[in-house]
A and B are shown apart, each in its own frame.
Chain A
Amino acid sequence: MESTAINCTHERDQIAAFRDKGVWIFVGIDLVVFALFFLVFLVERSAAVAVFQQSQQQLNEHIGFANTLILITSSWLLVKSIRSMLVNQKLGRFYLLASMLMGMLFVFSKLFEYKAKFDAGIGIVDNTFYTFYFVLTFIHFCHVVGGLIALNIIYGCLKRPATVPVKSEAESVAIYWHMVDLLWVFLFLILYLLN
């Protein structure tokens, strides 16, 4: 009986270690892909600085700034959630919910920004800058939505009685969520601030 329990714990630890490694590999690949996106953007920008600068001025940098604060705060709340998860599950759930709400705020803010652009007659094929703007921010947007789905699953697990240890799963999702946050920092820089 005892040996079965030990085997179970050992197996769970192995799965957690394997998942952890998988998340770091995934994050690494994603970072490389985004680094290539940034590089291509910068090369294209250097070929048409005037077009890029003119188009950049049409972006709402206030929304970009607000989105940066939102994602930073969401990451912070997620860290607080994970650190309080084992001590006080209720508090962990509260912080997780708050983190998800900030993520949703980012989604709504981004959708609002897209709508404003489409309403102004600006589309993905208008010029190279807008192609990059829509493609890069939409890929990032999909990352945010994916992260929110994963956080929602963790939240669902936390609501059940504390029989299933979800801290390591939550940590894996958090690594991904922080990656989404740090990618936005560079996206905000090259799309909005580099003028």
Chain B
Amino acid sequence: MKSALLHNEDLVWVALIAVTITSWFLFEKMEAVAAVYTIILISGLKVGAIGVGYMEANRANRLFRYFFSAWCVGVTVVIALFRLLQH
């Protein structure tokens, strides 16, 4: 089911647009610290969705699949950690 949803490019597009608008709303309206981390998390999820839903990174060889997953998680975590350390 999950895989079928991710392979429907229209649903992926709608989801990406929806979460982009959500993160924009959080950026514009919310002052809470949690909003910043939600925006970072949303960006990480967006990158993952583009990679799997559009780029079809899951069709690449196993090494790239592991690398891509690590890259998405790694960059997201590093951004969140730096944000945490700065405040």
Using CB atoms and an 8 Å cutoff, list the residues of chain A in contact with chain B. Answer: 21, 24, 27-28, 31-32, 35, 38-39, 42-43, 45-46, 49, 61, 65, 68-69, 72-73, 75-76, 78-80, 83, 174-175, 178-179, 181-182, 185-186, 188-190, 193-194
Contacts and interface: CB of A to CB of B under 8 A. Distances in A.
B27 A49 contact: no
Given A42-B82, A194-B79, A194-B83, A178 B51 contact: yes
A186 B43 contact: yes
Given A28-B64, A35-B75, A68 B20 contact: yes
A75 B79 contact: no
Contacts of B5: none
Contact of B27 (A32, A38, A61, A190): A61
B46 A185 contact: yes
8 contacts: A21-B61, A28-B64, A42-B79, A78-B54, A174-B55, A179-B55, A185-B50, A193-B23
A44 B24 CA distance: 25
B16 A189 contact: no
Given A73-B13, A76-B12, A186 B54 contact: no
Given A76-B54, A189-B39, A24 B64 contact: yes
SS class, residues of chain A in contact with chain B: helix
Interface string B40-74: 10010011001100111000110010011001001
A31 B50 CA distance: 14
A97 to B, nearest CB: 17
Q: Which bucket holds chain B's interface residue count?
A: 35 or more
A178 to B, nearest CB: 4
A31 B72 CA distance: 10
A65 B20 contact: yes
Contact of B54 (A21, A46, A181): A181
Given A73-B13, A185-B47, A178 B55 contact: yes
Contacts of A31: 67-68, 71
Contact of A182 (B24, B50, B56, B74): B50
B30 to A, nearest CB: 12
Contacts of B36: 194
A28 B50 CA distance: 15
Contacts of B79: 38, 42, 186, 189-190, 194
B47 A186 contact: yes
Nearest to B27: A193
A188 B50 CA distance: 15
